[in-house]
Structure 1
């Protein structure tokens, strides 16, 4: 009720405006304004960008030197996936294939450096991005932040201009498909359509384009790196699940000459189920808040039975999604990693992804305001899991312990020793690790 009916239960500005410092966006707006943003931004997530995300992710995974180290701590694994997610975003988000250290004329930092610093220090950015103090009064980190914020804005301005010019010259098909390019194309089409009518403008301003591409990058960076880190950790602890996934990869990926998005992605149901189960146990949004626009009756369950309370405007209601994901409604194995709970099999043997009825499942939120990048994240995740597990087995690093003791320590940390800061993080990621063994 609270999170499905967003018109009656909007997000308070204290939360919605957190990431609006580059411009209003699909996350920060409500009502008709949100519909305007959603109309344009939804066009960015299409089959062309999914295809680019698939290809780019596989290429980046192939470039990772898994043989370079016998064991990797989960902290190092997270850093590896931070970089991978950033590379995919720079290429697929901006449509710009550039090196990590390339600094174009007129810039002081590369796009990767500026975007990376902001995303890695997002809470610092929220607090200090509008600070007007002169540089000589600022500590080194805030001076760096000030430069990165300005540099990223300049990169977005240049990218929007580049895509607008390409759109006018009808040369966009010659460019790399990107989220920003698709948004600009849809936005320009909306402008042309409105020239023929007297309707209220429904296209996005340039600052709103910046605002949306930034939140897409933020969501794509944090949640992607987090889910990949936790997924590989769980797979290391459950070798039988790896074997189950490898069966699917042998049929559709490892032995295939054509591993294209169109041919292979729809068949990798087990790989996708790993993402669903990982996000159940390490959901990126454990607590969101809403407040009603008018007095509303909210049903609750007490020890004395069902009741209701009246919630008036100004009162904040939080949804504890992590608690819902570990509810007893998931059965006696609610706290155990089990991707098979999301897979059904027909009489003919065909498998499909299903959401079990009864328990709440909401890693991409609920209702019409669910995450617009849901499928993009799924494509990127499945490509990574498929490419890694087709070549490698993942094992728990023992570090002088027995395999069973190392596994139990890893599982305890994955379930209990974590915190939430935009995405899910381990409290002590250097204390445990994994190793990659070539198949």
Structure 2
């Protein structure tokens, strides 16, 4: 009897899924786009657990189902680049039970969608980032306007100058650590870039300067876990944190598995760190010295408190609650360090593989930097065009955000250039996903070598060489490339462009200039003798292994990162 009941329930569930899939298919047909059928929504938690174990079997599917096997992988847009879109077109529909995923890789459509934030708002799946409070990255409508108004003032030229100075200080300490390693052989480069970006954020974001050798890695008095460890555990287990967000004590219960208890401790510790940041900053702002420090958190507090004190304003619309301030602090930590740290790690690894671009970068650094005096932000940063080119090329190929999801308001039309204005509206229960990696590696935008790491593509050389009548150097005469609209969007575009874009650009330029003005880097082999200079076939083997680490990337937290950072072995030497 029990077996019959179970069979009946299973059959009913299967029939309901089939009917839901059929209804999604009928809705998708109205769009007139290529269709890929999927028996399961790739976001399904159970599917995400099962898929890695059956992935080899998926590759054996017949050709008409192989597209599902590709797109069912959460990292498919990074692995596939623009290949699926080149076969099927600039947009396609993944038809699943209960929902249609519309994947878009059309630059014009992407620009239109991101520019019209009200017609194409952020979907509810961003709520996973509301762990500590609602924030500028997750909200929509008028609530977003309030958050944006109060957070935008955090990112200004005073902050940029502070970011530059602190990035140089941290980078020089990191480089000294690398060069004093045994014969310059470094195994923890990826982790060190995380420490640098966390320390820069700590100083420029929260007014607390840290030393590279300790800082966020240390457990301060009153805590049981370091700031770094608590943040990393939360980022790597966001789904778990969201699942138990209704009851932290349940996570900490002794009846829970040790792993869940440890993540619960991380949440508790991180909340305590944020409470301490708010308390310390409010106390510091009462003094002249504290009020003069440029950082993100005191700007948030000041803007919010001033709005709260203004009796002529509706405070619920113009201020941020403490929970909302904490939510924005968490987003600043996520977007302000994890993305930049990964970009630095990829860039250093790529330069180790492609040593010719180290020479290319060093030529600019030797021209711009004066060894007799410190590099100041105002006169140095704008001239580091090749440095920025390396950042852009790294982001183009290994951008931390591989796609951007969007909902559609009722009766909105998918703004594809290939569609007629009278095209049917986007059907209900559809999620639009902008495929950034496909856009960033499209031959139409990036030429015949879109998969090649070639930073020089971002620099337009001067039309004529310098002369006595026009003595500007070739470096100052170089012009940065402005790519076609919608073809390069690592920070998004439109009103919801990442507010920390300049923060990241300045930090990257400062760290890279400090490192490559003094040294060169080459790949090493795990079994090599420290300090051994590799050549010939052994150097090619080391490059091949390092390239394998770079390509073996996926979503280790919420952004793209190398899966085996411990296998990245580099050799640093002064030049």
TM-score normalised by L of structure 1: 0.89
* Residues 1:395 and 2:522 are matched in the alignment: yes
1:81 CA drift (Å)? 1.3
Distance of 2:486 and 2:291 partners within structure 1:
44
Q: Please point out which of 267, 270, 288 is paired with 1:152.
A: 270
* Residues 1:425 and 2:561 are matched in the alignment: yes
Q: Which moved more, 1:45-54 or 1:275-284?
A: 45-54
Contact 1:325/1:359, CA 8 A, preserved across alignment: no
Residues 89-133 of structure 1: CA deviation (Å, up to 9, x unaligned): 2232221235442523x4444444433443454444344444442
Distance of 2:545 and 2:224 partners within structure 1:
44
**For residue 376 of structure 1, what is the aligned residue in structure 2?**
503
Contact 1:272/1:378, CA 8 A, preserved across alignment: yes
Distance of 2:323 and 2:257 partners within structure 1:
29
Q: Please point out which of 89, 110, 127 is paired with 1:17.
A: 127
Q: Please point out which of 243, 252, 255 is paired with 1:137.
A: 255
Q: Please point out which of 431, 453, 465 is paired with 1:316.
A: 431
* Residues 1:365 and 2:492 are matched in the alignment: yes
1:369 CA drift (Å)? 0.5
Q: Please point out which of 356, 365, 380 is paired with 1:264.
A: 380
Alignment of 1:321-360 (within 5 A): 321-329=436-444, 330-346=446-462, 349=474, 350-357=477-484, 360=487
User: What's the RMSD between the two structures over aligned residues?
Assistant: 2.7
Q: Please point out which of 179, 194, 197 is paired with 2:296.
A: 179
Q: 1:335 to 1:110 in 2, by over 3 A?
A: closer
Distance of 2:236 and 2:158 partners within structure 1:
28
Distance of 2:231 and 2:427 partners within structure 1:
40
Contact 1:299/1:307, CA 8 A, preserved across alignment: no
Residues 417-436 of structure 1: CA deviation (Å, up to 9, x unaligned): 32134222224445553211
Contact 1:292/1:312, CA 8 A, preserved across alignment: no
1:168 CA drift (Å)? 4.7
Contact 2:307/2:313, CA 8 A, preserved across alignment: no
* Residues 1:58 and 2:185 are matched in the alignment: no
1:295 CA drift (Å)? 1.6
1:88 CA drift (Å)? 2.1
Distance of 1:60 and 1:111 partners within structure 2:
17
Q: 1:198 to 1:21 in 2, by over 3 A?
A: closer
Contact 2:393/2:458, CA 8 A, preserved across alignment: yes
Contact 1:90/1:111, CA 8 A, preserved across alignment: no
Distance of 2:422 and 2:353 partners within structure 1:
42
Q: Which has the larger radius of gyration?
A: 2
Contact 2:132/2:323, CA 8 A, preserved across alignment: yes
Distance of 2:297 and 2:546 partners within structure 1:
39
* Residues 1:39 and 2:149 are matched in the alignment: yes
Distance of 2:265 and 2:140 partners within structure 1:
31
Q: Secondary structure at the match of 1:364?
A: coil
1:367 CA drift (Å)? 1.2
1:372 CA drift (Å)? 0.8
* Residues 1:49 and 2:159 are matched in the alignment: yes
Q: Which moved more, 1:52-61 or 1:113-122?
A: 113-122
Residues 68-89 of structure 1: CA deviation (Å, up to 9, x unaligned): 044335xx32112122222222
Contact 1:24/1:207, CA 8 A, preserved across alignment: yes
Q: 1:362 to 1:309 in 2, by over 3 A?
A: farther
Distance of 1:408 and 1:163 partners within structure 2:
48
* Residues 1:218 and 2:334 are matched in the alignment: yes
Q: Which moved more, 1:139-148 or 1:1-10?
A: 139-148
Q: Please point out which of 339, 344, 347 is paired with 1:231.
A: 347
**For residue 205 of structure 1, what is the aligned residue in structure 2?**
321
Residues 14-48 of structure 1: CA deviation (Å, up to 9, x unaligned): 2x211111110001110111010011111111222
Residues 182-219 of structure 1: CA deviation (Å, up to 9, x unaligned): 21122223334x32346863111111100001111011
Distance of 1:177 and 1:145 partners within structure 2:
32
Distance of 1:406 and 1:151 partners within structure 2:
40
1:171 CA drift (Å)? 4.7
Residues 329-359 of structure 1: CA deviation (Å, up to 9, x unaligned): 2001211111122223455542343322266
Contact 1:343/1:352, CA 8 A, preserved across alignment: yes
Q: Secondary structure at the match of 2:448?
A: coil
Q: Which moved more, 1:76-85 or 1:252-261?
A: 252-261
Q: 1:157 to 1:398 in 2, by over 3 A?
A: closer
Q: Which moved more, 1:343-352 or 1:371-380?
A: 343-352
Q: Which moved more, 1:78-87 or 1:343-352?
A: 343-352
Q: 1:337 to 1:37 in 2, by over 3 A?
A: same
TM-score normalised by L of structure 2: 0.69
Q: Which runs of 5+ in 1 are unaligned?
A: none
